[in-house]
Amino acid sequence: MNFSKHETPIQFISKAKQAMSDVVLTALPPLSLYIHIPWCVRKCPYCDFNSHEISVSTDFSALESAYVDALIQDLDHTLPQVWGRRVSSIFIGGGTPSVMSAQSIDAILSAVRARLPQVSEIEVTMEANPGTLDTHKLRDFRAAGVTRLSLGVQSFDDGLLDSIGRIHTGKQARVALDTAYQLFDKVNLDLMFALPNQSFAQLQSDVATALAYQPTHLSYYHLTIEPNTFFYQHPPSVPSDELAIDMQEWIQSELAGQGLRHYEVSAYAQAHHECQHNTNYWLFGDYIGIGAGAHGKISSHNQIVRTAKFKHPKRYLEAMQQGSAIETEQILRKADLPFEYMLNALRLRDGATLAQMQTATGLTVADLEPALSTAQTRGLMIQETGVLRVTELGWRFLSDVQTLFLS
């Protein structure tokens, strides 16, 4: 492709990108918005997310104000790529978004409402740490437009909380939950198991306390030791693999008995209370990502583009002053899509319909061969009534199933 003297370099690059793409979509998938808040009061020793401790020497009020301005500018930069599309969900994640003032959250959500059409009764989730909350602040978050609160409780046991570096106590978690269930339409309770030196009795106590709130959605994560974390450099004593499996099976049984269906790898919900935003991720929907380290995926009818913003807040703010904080941009090839899609969709117990897959990727069943046949022959996947999903065996070896679809 030759550069025309009548084109700007940006126009030429755009044409080149379109020429490289071999993706064809007849419709566009749902669109969500992710907003990243990169700060925490203290970095947890197991956390490998893009989070940064607030320095005691930092004027956080001024930094917060500058970051809100940058987020709005970041959104403005993305708008031309999504003109005319409605946002189906919003998720404010971190980090710890609840370190921000309610005024800042209100300013962000007001700016979003002014710029993007939204579906009626949109789900607006915000993650929060019980150690950064009080009743007044929670009430103000609700007034700002947050409809779903995701509380990072992790455990109700003070000793276990201390072992994983959390800043809150079990009492603070219970108080935050009491208030959250009064104020918010939906609440997610975040817990972890296989914590350092956690006994089965401690696990049972955590589950009993959680179920006393009659939660409609609960996320339960196995503590994993990730590279580039304090725990990776200084490994704690954690339950054996056998005990961790027993813990997980017991959790599933107890939650199922309370009507909480294990609908995704780490998520349980009562009927019609599944997280809309995360489900859009798993079904390969589109999402705008704004903020430090935020990832985005936006489709047009002839290409699917993934972006990532600069991770460090300082670098992100500097880049936004120059007009754009995009650090990397990748155009997906059709050959990439089977793995990209299955990496997400197979996390869902119900799998995905062929119609959903075709809308999100343009793929047909024939494009999944020979991996699909191999998975079915091994008893790892089934295809029935237009739905693809993993079997119970496939659920146990999910990573192996997903890897089959690598190009």
Query: How many CB atoms lie under 10 A from the CB of residue 65?
Result: 15
319 domain residue, yes or no: no
Strand duo 148-154 + 118-128: pairing = parallel
The single residue listed with the structure tokens 């993007």 is: 116
216: CATH: 3.80.30.20
Verify that 73 and 153 share a domain, yes or no.
yes
Task: Please report how the helices 60-78 and 313-321 are oriented relative to each other, as an axis angle in degrees rounded to 10.
Answer: 50
Instruction: Give pLDDT tens digits for 327-371.
Output: 999 999 999 999 999 999 999 999 999 999 999 999 999 999 999
Domain shared by 251 and 347, yes or no:
no
325 occurs within a structural domain = no
- Whether pTM > 0.85 for this model: the answer is yes
The whole-number pLDDT of residue 20 equals: 54
Beta strands in 164-303 (DSSP E): 186-193, 217-222, 261-264, 267-269, 286-290, 295-299
Q: Does 155 lie in the same domain as 32?
A: yes
The answer to whether residues 342 and 275 belong to one domain is: no
Quick one: 101 and 232 in the same domain?
yes
157 and 221 part of one domain: yes
**In a shared domain, residues 261 and 387:** no
* Cα angle 129-135-139, degrees, rounded to a multiple of 5: 95
Q: Which of 247, 262, 279 is the last residue of a domain?
A: 279
Instruction: Provide the percentage of residues in the chain whose pLDDT is more than 90.
Output: 91
**Of the ranges 17-31, 83-97, 160-174, 229-243, which one carries the lowest mean pLDDT score?**
17-31
* pLDDT tier at 80, thresholds 50, 70, 90: very high
Least confident of 48-62, 102-116, 206-220, 306-320: 48-62
User: In this structure, is residue 215 part of a structural domain?
Assistant: yes
Which residue, among 70, 26, 12, has the nearest Cα to 319 in the 3D structure? 70
Cα Rg of the chain, angstroms = 22
pLDDT the model gives residue 21: 64
* DSSP code per residue over 274-303: S-HHHHHHHTT-EEEEESTT-EEEEE-SS-
What integer is the mean pLDDT of 186-214?
Answer: 97
Domain count, the chain: 2
- Give domain status of residue 72, yes or no: yes
Asked if the structure places residue 90 within a domain, the reply is yes
Closest Cα to residue 66, out of 302, 357, 313? 313
Instruction: Give the domain range for residue 395.
Output: 335-407
Same domain, 55 and 204: yes
Shared domain for 384 and 259, answered yes or no, is no
Over the stretch 286-323, which tens digit does the pLDDT of each residue have?
Answer: 999 999 999 999 999 999 999 999 999 999 999 999 99
| 183/253 same-domain check | yes
* Residue where one domain finishes, among candidates 279, 296, 327: 279
Choose one of 279, 303, 319: the last residue of a domain. 279
- Report the CATH number that the domain containing residue 402 is assigned in CATH: 1.10.10.10
Residue 94 forms part of a structural domain: yes
Q: What percent of the chain has pLDDT over 70?
A: 95
Would you say residue 297 lies in a domain? no
Q: Are residues 201 and 346 in the same domain?
A: no
Q: How many Å apart are CA 52 and CA 39, to the nearest integer?
A: 5
Q: Which tens digits make up the pLDDT trace of 129-181?
A: 999 999 999 999 999 999 999 999 999 999 999 999 999 999 999 999 999 99
pLDDT of residue 4: 38
Residue 321 maps to a domain = no
Task: Tell whether 261 and 340 lie within a shared domain.
Answer: no
